[in-house]
Structure 1
Amino acid sequence: MTDKIRQYIAEAEAFHTTKKEELEAFRIKFLGSKGLLKDFFAEFKNVPNELKKEFGQVINELKTKAEDKVKSIQDAIENSQQSSSVYGDLTRPAEPLEIGSRHPISIVKNQIVDIFSNIGFNVSEGPEIEDDWHNFTALNLPEYHPARDMQDTFFIQTNPDVLLRTHTSSVQVRYMEASKPPIRTISPGRVFRNEAVSSRSHCIFHQVEGLYIDKDVSFADLKQTLLYFTKEMFGKSKIRLRPSYFPFTEPSAEVDIYWGLKTETDYRITKGTGWLEIMGCGMVDPNVLKNCNINPDEYTGFAFGMGIERIAMLLYQIGDIRMFYENDVRFLEQFKASI
């Protein structure tokens, strides 16, 4: 009898499978309620006393071998399933992915860049932390000039000569210092002003400023460039330029487009006039050219600047500028179709 049990021990040791069904059949054969071990333990009472010790040891060995084999194979099968579940069934349909969207500020900025790129303007960028020279002095705003009060500035407390730029005109100064005419560039970027945050204004906003310097550049060139932009950006072909004042341009003007009075919204955003201000512009002041080592007797140029948030609010009829900075997913998801 013990020889027969030893044969089953050898069979248990040699058993191997990767299938749950075969493992379960093995378990039932050896450890089930009607399995081999049940029969051998029942036979124990019929074994002569002098052989019971050996018989019992052999049965216990078979039991141990069978239980260890079942457990080891179970663990191997479970580990294999866990490894494959990392990738899962590659033939199954994938989970739907939420499509992201560009921020409306980025969408409008890219549109403006594309429009001016089509007529030869490149893109220039500069630091957001500026010095007094590039942000003010070089732009015809020397120290104590009253026009500095037009922009409430964030100064660095430990160094009054360092500040957060109030416009991207500082980028144009750097570009003029590093380049020789002809110059045709636009400068998009984030700017900072110490203003109260409300539905119409913010202490952080974005600008795109343009600069064109060459020989014999005239105000007519400026007007034609802006007319091209308004047609491409808004589909509006009627603009007007109103005299204004900017320290770094002379003469200077505010640019209005005729938005129309077709709807109640048109009346509201234009205050019943049909006209809407979109940017400032002018001919570059000769002092600015001198400060940037460009001969104003040989070269002339024009500059313009607009707020990206203002353009975006017009295009998408957004009534509160703060919406751009709150990262509300419900708001941002509306721009998926505008990518």
Structure 2
Amino acid sequence: MKERLEALKLEALEELGRTADAGQLNDLRVKYLGKKGALTEILRGMGALSAEERPVIGQVANEVRGAIESLIDTKQQEFQRQETERRLAAEKVDVTLPGRPMKQGAVHPLNQVIQEIEDIFIGMGYRIAEGPEVETDYYNFEALNLPRNHPARDMQDSFYLTEELLMRTQTSPVQARTMEAMQGEVPIKVICPGRVFRRDDDDATHSFQFHQIEGLVVGKRIRMSDLKGTLLEFTRKMFGPNTQIRLRPSFFPFTEPSVEVDVTCVKCAGSGCRVCKNSGWLEILGSGMVHPRVLEMGGYDPEIYSGFAFGMGVERIAMLKYGVDDIRHFYNNDLRFLQQFARI
């Protein structure tokens, strides 16, 4: 058996010496040292040896195993070194080349518009109020003068989660919550930005999810002229100092009287063009004096206090400001579109 071990050693070392790559080296390791390898096969015969022979043969077997493993390790290190040299030669980096600029993210155009609107109204003394997107039927409708079975509820096709919970259809519930939290204190001057949800068509001007900013002012002797002056100041800061507005009678359940607000066309400055359908005006928001019933439900005596409210769609403002013709551009995550606003 000793002679067989010595012969195996010479055979293995000679074959390993001719190994050309790591794959072949692994095959030889299995061939000689694996569970079914040549060395294991020889050692299975040790049971037939005498007690005196076993230690001697065992020592020889360990020397053979050690010699084979040592050469395998040496060859493996050599192959690794050769692979490293090959990769270094193939992947050279010219450190004298100028660095590649890192692409940086930018604020989304809708967030830019929201921040700009917030800055304008904060500059006029308003604060920001927020509320839940999953709203109760009471705050979303009843507290805003929309009791159950009111026909005006059909104006807002809603996503109901239960009979009492729904995805809010407007940010007006934040106004109701704010009045309730103020417990009759005045003045109230808040804007309420956030996402709203309606079962609406998915087309160039509509989406099931969009953003609104509502505004609310409550105090003594608040008049329609205060509303008009506030909105004129806002539109001029948003669209330019020469912007004009006009108020058209409308209907909203939570304001009385109610008005739609138009601005002079941002494209033609009021002279008439394709964008404004030659009217010179573009609708941007709805507003009005807070309905006495809404004031009363919010804890304010309508005989003493009055107020105004307004609501605008952020996407609508952004489309007018940047000349975007399809609301879906804001949600498609197309970098070709979004990168245009990185420097704004």
Aligned counterpart, 2:300:
294
Match 1:147 to one of 152, 160, 169:
152
- TM-score when scaled to structure 1? 0.72
8 Å CA contact retained: 2:266, 2:320: no
SS at match of 2:285: strand
- TM-score when scaled to structure 2? 0.71
Alignment CA distance shift 1:219-1:264 (3 Å): closer
Aligned counterpart, 2:174:
171
RMSD: 3.2
Match 1:324 to one of 311, 330, 336:
330
8 Å CA contact retained: 1:177, 1:293: yes
Alignment CA distance shift 1:162-1:265 (3 Å): farther
Alignment CA distance shift 1:265-1:241 (3 Å): closer
Alignment of 1:1-339 (within 5 A): 94-156=99-161, 159-179=162-182, 180-235=185-240, 236-259=242-265, 262=268, 267-338=273-344
8 Å CA contact retained: 2:269, 2:280: no
Amino acid at match of 2:130: E
For 2:213 and 2:230, locate their aligned partners in 1 and report how far apart those are by CA, in whole Å: 15
For 1:308 and 1:227, locate their aligned partners in 2 and report how far apart those are by CA, in whole Å: 17
For 1:207 and 1:265, locate their aligned partners in 2 and report how far apart those are by CA, in whole Å: 29
Alignment CA distance shift 1:132-1:264 (3 Å): closer
- Work out the number of aligned pairs and report it: 271
8 Å CA contact retained: 2:175, 2:192: yes
Amino acid at match of 2:174: V
C-alpha displacement of 1:99:
2.1
8 Å CA contact retained: 1:261, 1:272: no
Aligned sequence identity (%) = 50
Alignment CA distance shift 1:188-1:265 (3 Å): farther
SS at match of 2:287: strand
Q: What do the CA deviations read for 1:236-275 (whole angstroms, capped 9, x no partner)?
A: 4311101110000001000011227749996112110101
8 Å CA contact retained: 1:230, 1:237: yes
Alignment CA distance shift 1:260-1:108 (3 Å): closer
Unaligned runs of at least 5 residues, structure 2: 1-68, 88-92
Unaligned runs of at least 5 residues, structure 1: 1-63, 83-87
C-alpha displacement of 1:68:
8.5
8 Å CA contact retained: 2:140, 2:172: yes
SS at match of 1:194: coil
For 1:169 and 1:99, locate their aligned partners in 2 and report how far apart those are by CA, in whole Å: 36
For 2:262 and 2:295, locate their aligned partners in 1 and report how far apart those are by CA, in whole Å: 27
8 Å CA contact retained: 2:267, 2:275: no
C-alpha displacement of 1:316:
1.0
8 Å CA contact retained: 1:240, 1:255: yes
SS at match of 2:106: coil
Q: What do the CA deviations read for 1:72-99 (whole angstroms, capped 9, x no partner)?
A: 89989x99xx9xxxxx999985431012
For 1:223 and 1:264, locate their aligned partners in 2 and report how far apart those are by CA, in whole Å: 19
Alignment CA distance shift 1:200-1:69 (3 Å): closer
SS at match of 2:190: strand
Amino acid at match of 2:179: M
Q: What do the CA deviations read for 1:39-75 (whole angstroms, capped 9, x no partner)?
A: xxxxxxxxxxxxxxxxxxxxxxxxx99x999998998
- Structure of higher RCO (CA pairs closer than 8 Å, 6+ residues apart): 1
